């Protein structure tokens, strides 16, 4: 049985127009000033059609068929219909939606690209992984590539004629990139011979395009040890000269594909590089600078993947809860003309549905806010505005990546729970979302890695500049609405949490100075603590925006009631995470390793 999907256009439009006021934002950003609501709506509606009509029907097909690997040729065949869907994707101009016009893209802002990506991933996340890293490769090449590299590689990626990958991980080296062993030997023509094996490469081989551009981390012969000795190289599947002409097959080959828990329609490859020709991007031994451009883009994108899976799982759980008859409501029959009441009348089912709705809509508001910051970061002419947006998006990236993907694990499992035994069997289709969601908390940096980035780097090393700016905005909003009767159930709680957030961060930072283990012990709890307050901020702003909008009374009431549920039932999770942080690292590190056995 194939689950259904309907793009949540009403909520997306509310976030864009009422909550974030993108018309005002775009009017002052170069390249966006002519973008009208009519144009945005047209893009969103066409994306919804493509997602619903082309991609969604292939979701179950991809999970059932998976990808096939030919050991003789190293070729990967994607599930039935995937390649044709990609052809339609290219014909529709979706590949270069947010890419610069100078390289053949449409130059639309990321704030419009983000909801399009959400719709694609809700419809078929496995399919959505193939063009995913092309966006990151575009950013890395645009910012760090030489002119000839942009001409030769960037334009075909933007058009969708080629796709891109990101090749970091090795069998002995996951998050600790300082351990990587892939070598890069200089050639006489200025290129390099890349040798090594990379694993877990999403879309490393497929049948969508005839060429794939791999961005590969490797070491030069004289490179220093650790992360300071890593360089980044372009290694195409087929040789590409500086004139852009395609040559013979390069010495890179898919050695196998992984057999996975989920995302079975997405090819996850082992790639073997055997003196493959590659070209240096940027400066020698500065590869992480360029790679993080790609990685940070991917981390925000993975956060949207989590949101997308949550949305589709919720839609189907809600439909099931409305249709499935089970028992009578505890307060008496709600549908006396039926043999039993539908699931949706029962308290625990409503709790699970509201939890999903609150996490999804709050997460969407937060994710789209981050997208506006990316547009300011890339387009604003005022250096102070760019610097401010850069600090804010840097602070929010690990929160969005980790929180929205962990929420996806929670939301997809809640959806499965609502289905009961029917959710656990494959015929209903909902168990796929629980399996697909699980990887999102792992790839592009695990939740623990995101938490260390947030607390260790963004707070301790960078002295919490992004947090300071976020709290500055939050404080100004609370002050503006301090006497607003319609927000009195939210503003005092939010103001108190903002004050506490500052104090908790300061105390944790001071303890970390004397004991670095405080960071490792508290990082994940700190990230969730930050994330839940950030969602509370998003929900309060959403209620204020809804009240001031021309939305229907039902829409406004739904926002307010969902916000109330969030504050009453989910925001108290901050108390648990605060207590864990206050407990310190002793109970984590005191036990000798041998006692774990």
Give CA 593 to chain center in angstroms.
35
Residues 278, 217 contacting (CB under 8 angstroms): no
| Residues 352, 318 contacting (CB under 8 angstroms) | no
Q: Is residue 402 a contact partner of residue 450, using CB atoms and an 8 Å limit? A: yes
Phi, psi of 68 (to 5 degrees): -115, 145
Cβ pair 345, 334 in contact under 8 A: yes
**Taking CA 113 as the corner, what is the angle to CA 109 and CA 116, rounded to the nearest 5 degrees?**
150
Q: Where are the alpha helices (DSSP H) in 380-464?
A: 383-419, 421-424, 431-438, 447-452
Query: Residues 37, 39, 42, 47: is their CA dihedral positive or negative?
Result: negative
Rounded alpha-carbon distances, angstroms, from residue 162 to 66, 156, 198, 209, 269 = 22, 5, 20, 6, 17
Look at residue 521 and give its three-state secondary structure: helix
Most distant pair of Cα atoms in the chain: their distance: 84
Q: Which secondary structure element, helix H or strand E, spans residue 248, and what is its range?
A: strand 246-249
Q: Which residue has the tokens 């009240």?
A: 547
Task: Find, among 507, 368, 508, 502, the residue nearest to 451 by Cα.
Answer: 508
List residues with catalytic annotation: 444
Angle at 236 between CA 233 and CA 239, to 5 degrees: 115
Q: Name residues whose C-beta falls within 8 Å of residue 42's C-beta, 6 or more positions apart in sequence.
A: none
Q: Pull the structure tokens for residue 533.
A: 């307050």
Eight-state DSSP code of residue 486: G
Candidates 177, 235, 167; CA nearest to 204 is: 167
10 Å CB burial of residue 385 (0-12, 13-18, 19+) is middle
Comparing CA positions, the residue from 227, 171, 235 lying closest to residue 200 is 171
Cβ atoms of 450 and 300 within 8 Å: the answer is no
Q: Which two tokens stand for residue 383?
A: 């250096």
Distance CA 418, CA 349 (A): 6
């Amino acid at each position: 049985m194939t689950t259904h999907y309907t793009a949540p256009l009403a909520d997306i439009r509310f976030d864009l127009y009422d909550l974030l006021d993108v018309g005002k934002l775009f009017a002052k950003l170069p390249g966006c000033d002519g973008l009208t609501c009519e144009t945005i709506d047209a893009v969103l509606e066409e994306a919804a059609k493509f997602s619903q009509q082309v991609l969604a029907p292939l979701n179950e097909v991809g999970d059932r068929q998976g990808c096939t690997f030919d050991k003789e040729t190293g070729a990967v065949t994607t599930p039935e219909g995937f390649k044709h869907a990609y052809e339609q994707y290219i014909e529709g101009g979706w590949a270069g939606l947010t890419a610069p016009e100078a390289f053949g893209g449409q130059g639309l802002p990321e704030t419009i690209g983000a909801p399009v990506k959400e719709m694609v991933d809700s419809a078929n996340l496995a399919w959505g992984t193939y063009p995913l890293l092309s966006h990151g490769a575009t950013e890395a090449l645009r910012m760090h590539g030489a002119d000839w590299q942009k001409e030769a590689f960037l334009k075909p990626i933007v058009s969708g004629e080629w796709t891109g990958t990101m090749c970091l991980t090795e069998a002995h080296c996951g998050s600790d990139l300082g351990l990587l062993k892939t070598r890069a030997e200089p050639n006489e023509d200025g290129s390099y011979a890349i040798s090594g094996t990379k694993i877990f490469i999403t879309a490393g081989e497929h049948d969508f395009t005839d060429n794939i551009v791999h961005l590969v981390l490797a070491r030069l012969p004289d490179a220093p040890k650790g992360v300071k000795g890593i360089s980044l190289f372009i290694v195409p599947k087929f040789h590409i000269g500086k004139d852009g002409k395609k040559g013979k097959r390069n010495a890179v080959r898919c050695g196998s594909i992984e057999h996975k828990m989920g995302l079975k329609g997405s090819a996850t490859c082992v790639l073997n590089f055997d003196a493959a020709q590659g070209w240096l991007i940027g400066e020698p031994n500065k590869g992480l600078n360029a790679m993080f451009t790609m990685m940070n883009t991917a981390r925000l994108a993975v956060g949207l993947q989590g949101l997308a899976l949550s949305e589709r799982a919720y839609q189907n759980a809600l439909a099931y809860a409305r249709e499935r008859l089970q028992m009578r409501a505890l307060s008496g029959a709600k549908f006396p003309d039926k043999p039993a009441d539908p699931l949706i009348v029962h308290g625990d089912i409503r709790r699970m549905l509201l939890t999903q709705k609150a996490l999804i809509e709050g997460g969407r508001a937060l994710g789209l806010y981050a997208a506006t910051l990316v547009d300011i970061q890339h387009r604003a002419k005022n250096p102070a505005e760019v610097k401010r947006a850069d600090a804010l998006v840097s602070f929010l990236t690990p929160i969005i990546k980790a929180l929205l993907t962990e929420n996806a694990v929670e939301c997809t499992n809640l959806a499965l729970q609502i289905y009961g035994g029917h959710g656990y069997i494959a015929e209903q289709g909902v168990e796929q979302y629980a399996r697909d969601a699980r990887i999102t908390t792992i790839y592009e940096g695990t939740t623990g890695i995101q938490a260390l980035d947030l607390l260790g780097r963004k707070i301790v090393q960078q002295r919490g500049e992004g947090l300071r700016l976020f709290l500055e905005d939050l404080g100004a909003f609370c002050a503006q609405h301090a006497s607003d009767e319609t927000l009195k159930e939210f503003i005092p709680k939010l103001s108190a949490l903002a004050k506490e957030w500052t104090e908790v961060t300061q105390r944790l930072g001071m303890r970390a100075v004397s004991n670095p283990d405080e960071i490792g012990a508290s990082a994940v709890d700190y990230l969730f603590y930050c994330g839940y307050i950030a969602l509370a901020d998003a929900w309060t702003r959403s209620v204020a925006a809804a009240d001031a909008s021309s939305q229907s009374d039902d829409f406004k009431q739904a926002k307010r009631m969902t916000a109330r549920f969030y504050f009453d039932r989910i925001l108290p999770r901050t108390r648990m995470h605060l207590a864990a942080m206050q407990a310190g690292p002793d109970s984590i590190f005191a036990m000798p390793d041998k006692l774990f056995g």
